[in-house]
Each structure stands twice: as C-alpha cells, then as structure tokens.
Amino acid sequence: MSRAPRILVIVFALLCGALPARAAQDAALDRGTAITDPATLRELDDGKFRLDRMLLPERSADTPLANSELFAVPSMVPVRQAIDGEFDRYVARHGVSLPKETIGVGDGFDFQLFDRALAYSADTRFVLAGIVNRMDRTYAAEASCGEIRLIYRLTRVHKAAGDDASPPRLPMTLNLVLKAKGEGSAITCSEIADRWLAVPPAGTVAATDGRLDLIDYQNIDRIETNLQIAHAPKSSVRDFRTDYLLKVFRYDRSARAFMEAPMENQIDRARLLADDDLKREFRVWLLDPNNLAAFDRGTLLIPEKFLATSAIAPTPVGFDPSDLEPEFGLVHGEGAAFSEAEVVAALRKAAESGVRLQNIRSLAGFERRLNDVTCSGCHQTRGIGGFHFPGVDWMADKPSNSAVVPASPHFFGDQVRRRDILASLHDGKPPDYSRGFAGRPQSRGSAELAGTNYLDGWGAHCYVQGKPATNNDASFRDWTCAEGLSCQAAGKTSRIGMCFVKSR
C-alpha cells in the first residue's frame, strides 16, 4: 500500500481537530447557499420538512415514522428492495474475491457489514441534518432552476436500557432532491436566488425567512442514498478500508414510487470494458470537441446508456492515479476505452478548433476529470469518511468534532463558486457554471479562500513544482501553496500532495 492513504488519515484527524476553530469561517462561506444551524434544523425537522411529512403530506401525526414503517410505505418499498439486492451482490462478490477472509455483521469478521436491519428498524429514523442550495446545477435542470437538497442522517432515536449516551448517528444519509422551482410556478430563477442571497438576521428561523416557502412535496425529484456498506479494520494483510454504497431513486409519479435510476455521470466501467461497440461509442462521444469542452468545465451530462445504477466508493484513497477507482482503468491497461495517444490527439484537436480548456490540459488532467465527474470519484475526494455532508448532529448531548462540523473541505471550498452563480442568476446574467477539480477550488474564489486549507493553506491539495517549469503538468501547475508552506507529495509516483509547513 502506498504512503498516501496513511497521510490522508493523519491529515483528516488533524483537520477535524482544527475544524471547530474555523466554524466562523465556514459559516461565512455557506451563507446564502446552505442551512447548517443546529437550532434551525431542529425546528425544521419538527415541521413540514420532517422526512415522513415530505413523503406522506397527508399524514398529520405528531410522532415521526420510524424506519420500520417508512420503508413499508409503498413509494419506499422499491428503495428497500434495491438496497437489499446491492447487499446480496456485495457479499457474493467478496465471497469469491476474498476466499481467505470472512464477511458479515459484527466485529468477528474481516469485512464488517453494515447491519441493514438498523436501516429498517423501529428504533431508527432519518433526521434532517442540512439543507443545501444547488441552483449551481441549473445547467442540468433549467426549467426547475436547479435543485434544493434536504439531507437526512440515519439516527438511532431510542436509547438502550441503562444507556446514558446520546442516540448515535449511523453511517447512512438520504438526500431528498427537490426542484428549486415547481412545475407551473410563475416565479423566476432570479427571484428564488434573491430569497437565498437575502440572508436573514441571526436568530431568524429559515422556515419564516422566505427561502423555503416554495418547497414542498410536489417539488420532489429523487432520493439519493449513501451508506457505509462495509468496513475492514487494519489487519496483517491490509490497511483499513471502508466501502460506501451510492444509489439514486427517481420519483415515478405514475407509479407513485421511487424507482432505481442511473446515477448522473457514474460511468459503468465494467460494462464498457466488456462491450467493444459500447466502449467505442463512448470514446467517440466523449472526445468530440464540444463534449470535451463541457467535460473540461465539469458541466457534461453523460448519456444514460453509459451509466451505472450503483457505485462502491472505497475510502481512503491516495493521490496516485492507481488509487482512484473506478474510472482510471478506462485509460490504462489492456482493453482500455481510451489510449494515451487518442486523448492527447483529442486535446490538441480541441485547442486547434478554438476550444479553451480550463482544467484538462494533459493526459493526467483528463484522467482526474474522468474520475471526479462521477459520484464515486467525487466522494473519494476530500470527504469526511465517505460523505461530503454528514450534517450537524443536533440530537447529541455532547457533540464531538464530527457532530459539530457539518461538511467536508470539498463542500466548503465550493461555496464561493456556488454563491457567484446565485448572484449571476439574481442579476439576470449568464452564470459561469464551470468548476475546477474536486480536490482544488477554482482560482476565481482565491480572494476569499486564499490561505485556507480549501485552496492553498495547510492541508490543501497541491502540486510539487519542478525545475524547469516546463516539466510541470499543465493541468496542475497552478496548485501552489501559501507562503511558508511547501507541497509534499503523498504517493510514490505522483507529484500531487498536500501543503505542509516547510521542514527546516
């Protein structure tokens, strides 16, 4: 195993210890783009944004539905069936690939499965952990002005007999993705953006400040789930590893149910590599100059015929391309979808045709973007244990760091870009929807992010600069560190690392 994952674990531990001290900075970054205040979320969860009230608007009971009842609701039955199927396939795959290791629920196994009974238990429910404005995704859904996401965290709501501890949160989130603008609504994207940018005074409850007035069950588009399907503790044959299962369920209004759906930009690597015709079609489509330009900007929407309906995101991963799965196998190796020569030629052709590429300026840049446009690749980058938004644990009696910090460095580093897009929508100007790589925010946010671990401060992702400068990879040569810090490579072959204090 390379040195990278160990470094990431150490850095994560140190960052988590520092995060509470940055609470004010984080709150400033997400003003107008997210609701993370614990008291506000508690009140919203007591109101119409409690999950069972969103899914069953006719329900008037004060007591929240436990998950044992929630997953028995007809609209949620397909969700449970699909998740159960993924568990069965995961166990079957590991039974073949790891014949000398065991897999099951409990500490006695090499691969310790998430106890799925907890997801369907009478003792658990999904608790509102955050609300995030994703109008920066209006390019993908113009008619609905992008999305608003209600993020719920699986929580045990009943304490065990004699247990004085707070009800523990469990490693699973459910995102209820809503259209920012409902069908038939006369409101404009500019007016919606205005409601979010007009941040209310401190102490104002979000339910009464106008941001959420237009949101109800009729805006529901889909459910996205992320759960820690298994954990392998460190052993004599491996360092620790945790796998996260990602799924999407689109709401079918005719069936009145959430149905399994392809995941946006989650390339079905195994199917592509097994089908030469499909692989060839995907290669031609992606390397087309127009599609390559959108791919570079991070706004590409890959056709569903190339996509998967589930993904496993392993954690931790390092900085070497070989650590980033599953998409790097599409470029390197026998039967790969792209040859290095084809990618280099396509980049040259795009430049000659007048396409100005902002991020992908090399083969390595192409590979990294091929990974981080996917759900699994993005979740592997600067996440908190496989999640980008764990949310604040407002039910905890004595919150720990992981309960206080609502989101990952990737999330906070992207807020300046998202707020810029909201401002453009508000002003009626064409927004710049482009984004940098998941590991490094675009430089347009450098004035606000400069010196932070989100951009070039301690712990930021960076590139080891070589001499002469012509030896530096054009996709990453701008990934520098603030004064007093140096970039220290984490992998054996990669020059991408993290900013740390210069050694004397």
Return the higher-pLDDT residue of 208 and 97.
97
What single-letter amino acid sits at 395? Answer: M
Residue 13 CA to residue 366 CA, distance in Å, equals 31
Q: Which domain holds residue 136?
A: 34-84+116-263+383-440
CA-based R_g, the chain, Å: 23
What global pTM score does this model have? 0.90
Tell me, yes or no, whether 306 and 249 share the same domain.
no
Is 98 in contact with 105 (CB distance < 8 Å)?
no
If asked whether residues 296 and 419 sit together in one domain, one would say no
Helices 189-197 & 415-427 angle (0-180, nearest 10): 130
SS3 letters across 226-247: EEEEEEECCCCCCCCEEEEEEE
Q: How confident is the model at residue 161 (pLDDT cuts 50, 70, 90)?
A: low
411 shares its domain with 357? no
CB atoms within 10 A of CB 173: 24
| Residue 107, helix vs strand vs coil | coil
Q: How far apart, in whole angstroms, are the C-alpha atoms of residue 320 and residue 327?
A: 13
pLDDT reported for residue 73 = 96
Q: Which residues on adjacent β-strands are paired with residue 177? A: 149, 222
**pLDDT of 239 strictly over 70:** yes
Last-in-domain residue among 344, 373, 402? 373
| 45-49, 173-177, 443-447: least confident range | 443-447
Residue 109 has pLDDT above 60, yes or no: yes
What is the rounded average pLDDT of the residues 164-181?
A: 88
Task: Name the domain count of the chain.
Answer: 2
Least confident of 116-130, 155-169, 446-460: 155-169
With a cut of 60, say whether residue 14 has pLDDT above it. Answer: no
Q: What is the pLDDT of residue 7?
A: 42
Q: Give domain status of residue 101, yes or no.
A: no
Tell whether the model's pLDDT for residue 488 goes beyond 60. Answer: yes
Residue 305 lies in a domain: yes
DSSP letter at 127 equals: E
- Tens-digit pLDDT profile for residues 245-288: 999 999 999 999 999 999 999 999 989 999 999 999 999 999 99
The β-bridge partners of 178 are 148, 220
For residue 99, report the phi and psi dihedrals to the nearest 5 degrees: -65, -25
Q: Is the same domain home to 124 and 225?
A: yes
CA distance 316 to 1: 11
Q: Is the pLDDT of residue 221 over 70?
A: yes
Find which of 90-94, 182-186, 192-196 is predicted with most confidence, using mean pLDDT.
192-196
For residue 102, the surrounding DSSP H or E stretch is none
pLDDT in tens, 201-220: 555 555 556 889 889 999 99
Residue 348 pLDDT greater than 70, yes or no = yes
Per-residue DSSP letter, 100 = T
Give a yes or no: residue 231 inside a domain: yes
Last residue of a domain, one of 402, 423, 440: 440
Same domain, 364 and 393: no
Query: For the chain, what is the mean pLDDT?
Result: 86
Q: Is 484 a domain residue?
A: no
182 and 53 co-located in one domain: yes
Same domain, 240 and 278: no
**3-state percent breakdown (helix, strand, coil) of the chain, nearest 5:** 40, 20, 45
Provide mean pLDDT across the span 66-81.
97
∠ CA 114-393-317, nearest 5°, is 50
Give the rounded distance of the alpha carbon of 116 from its chain centre: 22
Place of tokens 């590599």: 273
Q: Which residues of 432-458 are buried (b: 16+ CB within 10 A; e: fewer)?
A: ebbbbbbbbbbeebeebbebbbbbbbb
Task: Tell me what pLDDT residue 404 has.
Answer: 64
Residues 387, 364 within the same domain: no
What are the structure tokens assigned to 11, written together?
């850095």
CA 254 to chain centre: 29
Q: Which pLDDT score is estimated for 321?
A: 43
Residue 238 lies in a domain: yes
The whole-number average pLDDT for the span 296-316 is 94
Quickly tell me which residue has 């065990």 as its tokens: 160
The reported pLDDT for the residue numbered 200 is: 65
Does residue 223 contact residue 76 with C-beta atoms inside 8 Å? no
Cα distance between residue 87 and residue 103, in whole Å: 11
pLDDT, position 27: 63
Q: Are residues 163 and 253 in the same domain?
A: yes
Tell me, yes or no, whether 284 and 432 share the same domain.
Answer: no
Do 326 and 277 belong to one domain? yes
Residue 94 lies in a domain: no
Beta bridge partner(s), residue 488: 498
Half-sphere exposure of 361 (CA within 13 A, CB side): 13
Burial of 349 (0-12, 13-18, 19+ CB in 10 A): middle
Q: Looking at the domain assignment, is residue 98 inside a domain?
A: no
> Are residue 75 and residue 202 in the same domain, yes or no?
yes
Q: Which of 46-60, 265-279, 289-303, 435-449 has the lowest mean pLDDT?
A: 435-449
